Structure 1
């Protein structure tokens, strides 16, 4: 479109559509079949006081929809990159900061904001005006409700929200839509109850999950929690709202934060 700027050193694949006034910075690689709408800024300088210049990168896959005024900044340290996968949908005014890693089929609703070094795994859904602290991770098929402030990791498959954000249940609808078989959803539900509703501390809950839950999806949950450096979001307690074969959302009573050896919140 008119007014677009493609800087020297940027590489675009086939069948990309750029609406008017899109900016693509140097060191940016974009795959095929992306739709980039008006005013989007891709691969510009990081908003990081540690940035001292040098060659850094932005890497974007294929079939992404990047709506109006989305900003995606390149890496901070020499040779590093901000990386975006395939089939993502970033709505207007979403922000992806330097060195973020975003997987596939991720949805960022309007004004969702990722600060530096965040990791968003496949199938995650961040609602409008969600804000993530630096280095925060969001697991596969997790969903975060609007206006939430997230300062700890959100494990896979969880429903999360609040300021600060807490785990409120399982993303049952998302798992069903993604085609998770009932047996897998049941195994994830059991792992969720052990981690957030059993009264076990996190280490003991993880040991019990490893012993009792055998699906690859729960293995991914275990690996995610074990790899956490910030700790995982706390949970809420109360009687679960019945969701048929799965509990969807507990009634809200805030519990303590989940540090590795503290009692796991219910």
Structure 2
């Protein structure tokens, strides 16, 4: 049977797998769905139309599924969807989406989300990310897979950060960050590319060399954005091993809305 502490308040309409554990004084609302093996810590509040997958660890005092911090929100039936095997540490706040976007705030799987992280309405967070303490995602932010966000870093509304990118401690991210790049500071600047992270994920020398060339074209060659985009596209033919990486970069650059940090 589901392990629910006697002091927890769980709405009878909530759907919790029989293997879910709920700690003391937690509060779970009627539209919440929680998958197998997930643990919910003491004093956590999970409300709204929130769906949580399998094997998540939700630590004490989290507030998940509250209404957006958006004055336009008028009670629409929007959602928060969280995948599997995430670690969500103390005092995190994740809001549901808004009708002005897709209506869903989405967290992927296998993410390591540290204390006091805020994920605002309509954010889309991929898989295998790390968000360090007090990282703050404003509304409509998109993070790709394997992104690392340093502690005390703030990300502006509608910013996109590409896969394998890294933002350092206490950065102010107000423009899109292309995949693989390493940025930090206020004002934000590109410091290089995430070579150590790529090595840890099994990127071989040819793939890393291709990423280095993409960095050079965007940031060291003096070319315009469009010139760099064209030459990056051509890398897929000259380095077939990196074709998928080139595709990730070209797709990202085609969808830039706020301009890239340069």
Query: TM tier, shorter chain?
Result: 0.7 to 0.9
Aligned to 1:263: none
Contact 2:178 2:252 in 1 (8 A): yes
Query: What are structure 2's unaligned runs of at least 5 residues?
Result: 1-22, 238-242
Aligned to 2:8: none
Q: Deviations over 1:33-78 (max 9, x none)?
A: 0000010011011101111112110000000000000000001217
Q: Deviations over 1:194-213 (max 9, x none)?
A: 11101111101111121234
> Considering only aligned residues, what root-mean-square deviation do their CA atoms show, in Å?
1.1
Aligned to 2:94: 72
Contact 1:191 1:213 in 2 (8 A): no
Answering whether residue 244 of structure 2 is matched by residue 216 of structure 1, we say yes
Aligned to 2:216: 193
1:147-162 paired onto structure 2 within 5 Å: 147-162=170-185
Aligned to 1:178: 201
Query: What are structure 1's unaligned runs of at least 5 residues?
Result: 235-266
Q: TM-score, normalised by structure 1?
A: 0.86
SS across alignment from 2:74: coil
Q: Separation in 2 of the partners of 1:211 and 1:67?
A: 43
Runs of 4+ in 1 over 3 A off after TM superposition: none
Aligned to 1:32: 54
Contact 2:48 2:67 in 1 (8 A): no
Answering whether residue 51 of structure 2 is matched by residue 23 of structure 1, we say no
Q: TM-score, normalised by structure 2?
A: 0.87
Paired residues in the alignment total: 234
- 1:164 Cα shift? 2.1
Q: Deviations over 1:197-250 (max 9, x none)?
A: 01111101111121234421022111101210111001xxxxxxxxxxxxxxxx
